[in-house]
Structure 1
Amino acid sequence: MSKQTDNRKLLARGAQVLALMGLVVSLAACGGQAAEPTAVPEPTSTPTAAPTDTPTPAPTDTPTATPVPTDTPTVTPVPTDTPTPTPEPATGRPPASPDIVYIGNPTTPDGDPQVNISFDVQGDPATLYQILDILDQYGVRTTFFMQGEWVEQYPDAAKEIANRGHELGNHSWTHFNFSEMTAEEVTKELNDTEAIVKEVTGQTTKPYFRPPFGSRSTVSLQTAYDLGYTTIIWTYGADEWRDGATAQTIFDNVYGNKAPGALYYTHTDRQIIVDALPRVIEAFQADGYKLVTAGEILAVQENN
């Protein structure tokens, strides 16, 4: 009995002790314990306002200033000497004609008597170069009638004639008889010669054609005209090709037949021509004659 009583007493005291201890703990928690520190919030980045495009004001038309008119200075041209053109001895070559030409104008536009001594090219050009030198010596420019085959064989000689300032005419390609040719044959002869002369010398043979031997027909005259040529024969020939010809006979046949407007012809391949030429030129010039080209002596003159 007493033993149970003691146990109950012990239990009661234990409960009291536990209660007391719980009270102490409660008081410590309420008053003596420091308050738990308040958490400091982490700093947050203050958001930077995103830049906004500043609107560019729309351009306004800048008023254009009205220019104040100023007097434009007048440029006074500096006077220059206007070159006076050298007067031509004639108004120019006549158009091609179907008529045969035997003689030219008797005088120059200045009234001087004039003649033409022309050359048909043929043979070895050795004497040709001597003829060119003589013409240069006396200041004479004339007309050389070019044969196509000869130009093909002696292009340098043909070029030298042109380089010396002489006029060129057409003398056919083959040197055949034109009185027996068809229109087609005449056309080929003249066109082929014109082509090679232009290729070699840069000059044309138009508008003058001298047929070999002076041979012609109605067909050849009309065909040459259709191609742009006037057929030229001669007033007198030097006849240096005849048997027994000499420098004296050449002089007699040319100067001995002195006539204003006369057309004389000779060739380029005989030494007797070289021998006679200076004397012939000197005689004409001493009489006041001008030795001119076919183009000059046949030109349309203002007083005609």
Structure 2
Amino acid sequence: MTTSDRRSALRAGAGLVAGGAFAAACSPSGSSSGAVAQHAPTSPASPSSAAPTPAARTSAVSGSAPPASPAPATRPPARPRPAPAPRAFPGQPAQITHGPRDRPRIALTFHGQGEPSVARALLAEAERHGARVTVLAVGAWLDEHPDLARRVLDGGHELGNHTQRHLDINAMSEADAAAEITGCAERLRRLTGSIGAWFRPSRASRASPLVERLARRAGYPHVLSYDVDSLDFTSPGAPAVARTVLDEVRGGSVVSLHFGYADTVAALPAVLDELDHRGLRAVTTTELIG
């Protein structure tokens, strides 16, 4: 399938969700089926062609049954590997907005909330381009769609914490803000074995000093912000989303995008194509910073 065909297919799928956004925006508050393997049936050997085994000959003479073969050892199913845990990056600020400017890498970060089919379409498109993204998931969204946590990780992407209910966390009391952070962290731990690689505040581009402190207490050494806002949550149309990102992105950029918006689905192929053309590789935020 050509890039043009993929864009057309994604736009057609996006039409299913056009006309309404499925995720609350994070603007500052001040503002194959898998194929089943088919095995041919094994034809039993005919009596005339199958020679009796020594055990069978012995049992025929003695009249005793041959010894039973030992049952094959069963191996328990492998457990999924735990998701990466938060890392401290010495020399980096408490709130990170971008990575090193001298490397041809950028991070596409998605606020994880909205219609699951849109999330899967965006992840699949990123994977077709060899891109890896960071998903900051809302805890309530994971409660409704727990399988998406593993879908993100199985695609080679990164998963993080975007609060439990996606409210204006900077305006909350200390107790309520702490509950928003730890509530999502607990869900991530239960689903993946880790509290997630990053924390990003909800309804704000940056965390208040209180929220920054609470995030650190919960186990996140850094708060993840961004330096490029796609404004996709305003539903300006796919060309406008792509233009905004491509006009501002440069080496080291952290781009804010959202699951759940038709414009984002339609814009992503053009964004990824142009990033490839510029030699900018989309990697996880941990890889970008590290």
TM-score range, shorter chain: 0.5 to 0.7
Q: Scaled by the length of structure 1, what TM-score is found?
A: 0.62
The offset of 1:184, in angstroms, is 2.4
The offset of 1:98, in angstroms, is 6.8
Q: Scaled by the length of structure 2, what TM-score is found?
A: 0.65
The offset of 1:262, in angstroms, is 0.9
Q: Give the one of 160, 178, 181 matched to 2:151.
A: 160
Q: How many residues align?
A: 202
- Decide whether the 8 Å contact of 1:93 with 1:295 is kept in 2: no
The offset of 1:199, in angstroms, is 1.5
Equivalent residue, structure 1, for 2:230: 238
Q: Give the one of 97, 105, 130 matched to 1:102.
A: 97
Q: State the alpha-carbon separation in 2 of the partners of residues 146 and 95 from structure 1.
A: 25
Q: State the alpha-carbon separation in 1 of the partners of residues 155 and 183 from structure 2.
A: 24
Equivalent residue, structure 2, for 1:209: 199
Q: State the alpha-carbon separation in 1 of the partners of residues 123 and 240 from structure 2.
A: 21
The offset of 1:254, in angstroms, is 0.5
Unmatched tracts of structure 1, length 5 or more: 1-91, 300-304
Q: Give the one of 221, 240, 245 matched to 1:249.
A: 240
Q: Which has the higher contact order (CA 8 A, sep 6+)?
A: 2
Q: State the alpha-carbon separation in 2 of the partners of residues 237 and 279 from structure 1.
A: 17
Evaluate the alpha carbon distance shift between residue 242 and residue 144 of structure 1 in structure 2; reply closer, same or farther with a 3 A threshold. same
The offset of 1:96, in angstroms, is 10
Unmatched tracts of structure 2, length 5 or more: 1-86
Q: How does 1:1-304 map to 2 (within 5 A)?
A: 94=89, 99-108=94-103, 113-206=104-197, 208-214=198-204, 216-229=207-220, 230-243=222-235, 245-299=236-290
The residue identity in structure 1 corresponding to 2:118 is T
- Decide whether the 8 Å contact of 1:182 with 1:219 is kept in 2: no
Q: State the alpha-carbon separation in 1 of the partners of residues 150 and 184 from structure 2.
A: 14
Q: State the alpha-carbon separation in 2 of the partners of residues 98 and 186 from structure 1.
A: 21
Q: State the alpha-carbon separation in 2 of the partners of residues 95 and 185 from structure 1.
A: 30
Deviations 1:143-193 (A, max 9, x none): 100110000011122221122121111100011112122332222212221
The residue identity in structure 2 corresponding to 1:94 is F
Larger Rg: 1
Q: Using the aligned pairs only, state the percent identity.
A: 24
- Decide whether the 8 Å contact of 1:98 with 1:221 is kept in 2: no
The residue identity in structure 1 corresponding to 2:168 is N
Q: State the alpha-carbon separation in 1 of the partners of residues 217 and 90 from structure 2.
A: 11
